């Protein structure tokens, strides 16, 4: 008998990812944690890399609560450090001599007008949305001998200009072109490279401003479905792009944003707080 994780999506069923290994970077909370749960529930073995062992262990425990037979390895380390990522990718492969799925979730966010930032700050934010993702692809793709899927987390900010998010938007827009080039270069190896593009999502990284009623209400006027996203809204998109259901999809960034891209950004400097 096949038991579906999400009854409304019949293809997301236990066993679809049996025999596959997934390497997840930044796997200690939010979208990464929710995505890891779905991958494990469908049978994937997990190798989780993140900066906080306490949060990695919490992620592991939350996964085991819904998938008690899941095989999970956690490693504390900096997912923006080249040596750490290279070693972790190899370690993920070594668990079962295979690497099938890579999910890169590391990002850098902040707010403020462009003309008030110095070069170091701007560069740090842009590279914070690229560095770990580049390293994940650079050191994982050569180990994906039988093809596979690489999934990154972009943002609607890559498409919708929002005042106060210039450095973040620049990093995410660069990530999306990186994904398209990588998809072209790696297609002959059977490796697909895609991203999900979340809208404003309630998470630890957004708590600094989503509590501001004026900002949130102004933003929600531009979201046809009328609410902020949560990690469990985004994770099924990651799961789809990681699995066989998307075997003919590569080089794409899929918006999961409540319809925000339909209406665009509110006018004015929302994110300069």
Task: Domains for the chain: give ranges and CATH numbers.
Answer: 21-261 (3.40.50.720)
Residue 258, by phi and psi: left (phi above 0), alpha (psi -120 to 50) or beta? left
CB 155 within 8 A of CB 172: yes
Whole-number Å distance between alpha carbons of 16 and 119 = 46
Beta partners for 195? Answer: 152, 253
CA separation for the pair 14, 41 (Å, rounded)? 6
Which strand ranges, in their side-by-side order, compose the sheet holding 21-25?
A: 72-76, 45-50, 21-25, 101-104, 148-153, 191-198, 253-256
Question: In terms of DSSP H, where are the helices of the chain?
Answer: 30-41, 53-66, 82-96, 119-128, 131-140, 166-186, 207-210, 213-220, 231-242, 260-263
Q: Which of 140, 155, 146, 109 is nearest to 257 (CA)?
A: 155
Catalytic residue among 93, 139, 168, 240: 168
Q: How many CB atoms lie within 10 A of CB 200?
A: 26
pLDDT at site 217: 76
Which segments of the chain have a pLDDT < 70? Answer: 1-14, 203-215, 267-273
* Cβ 209 vs Cβ 271: under 8 Å: yes
- Could you tell me the two tokens for 162? 């929002």
Asked if 104 and 150 touch (Cβ cutoff 8 Å), the reply is yes
End-to-end CA distance of the chain: 52
∠ CA 148-29-212 to the nearest 5 degrees?
A: 125
Cβ–Cβ under 8 Å, residues 173 and 158: yes
Cα(46)–Cα(150) distance, rounded to whole angstroms? 14
Tokens linked to 213: 């009623």
| Amino acid 131: pLDDT | 98
Q: Are 17 and 42 in contact (CB under 8 A)?
A: yes
Q: What is the pLDDT of residue 5?
A: 47
Establish whether 209 is a catalytic residue. no
CA dist 223 and 258 (Å) reads 6
> Would you state the pLDDT for residue 123?
95
CA torsion 30-31-32-38 (nearest 10°) is 120
Dist. CA 254–CA 257, nearest whole Å: 9
Helices (H) and strands (E) in the chain, counts: 10, 7
Tokens read off for 87: 């070693």
């Amino acid at each position: 008998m096949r038991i579906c994780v999400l009854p409304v999506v019949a293809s997301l069923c236990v066993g679809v990812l049996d025999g596959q290994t997934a390497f997840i970077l930044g796997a200690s909370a939010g979208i990464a944690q929710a995505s890891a749960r779905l991958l494990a529930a469908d049978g994937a073995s997990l190798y989780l890399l993140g900066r906080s062992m306490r949060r990695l262990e919490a992620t592991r425990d939350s996964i085991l609560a819904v998938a008690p037979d899941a095989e999970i390895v956690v490693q504390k380390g900096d997912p923006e450090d080249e040596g750490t990522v290279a070693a972790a990718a190899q370690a993920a492969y070594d668990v079962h001599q295979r690497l099938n799925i890579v999910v890169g979730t590391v990002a850098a966010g902040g707010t403020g007008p462009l003309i008030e930032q110095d070069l170091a700050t701007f560069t740090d934010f842009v590279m914070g949305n690229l560095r770990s993702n580049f390293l994940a692809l650079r050191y994982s793709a050569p180990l994906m001998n039988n093809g596979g899927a690489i999934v990154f987390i972009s943002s609607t900010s890559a498409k919708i200009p929002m005042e106060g998010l210039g450095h973040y938007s620049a990093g995410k827009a660069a990530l999306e072109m990186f994904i398209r080039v990588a998809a072209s270069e790696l297609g002959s190896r059977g490796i697909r490279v895609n991203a999900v593009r979340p809208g404003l999502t309630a998470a630890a990284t957004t708590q600094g401003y989503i509590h501001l009623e004026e900002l949130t209400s102004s933003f929600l006027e531009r979201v046809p479905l009328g609410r902020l996203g949560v990690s469990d809204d985004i994770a099924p998109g990651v799961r789809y792009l990681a699995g066989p259901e998307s075997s003919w999809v590569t080089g794409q960034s899929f918006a999961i944003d409540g319809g925000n891209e339909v209406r665009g950004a509110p006018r004015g400097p929302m994110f300069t707080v």
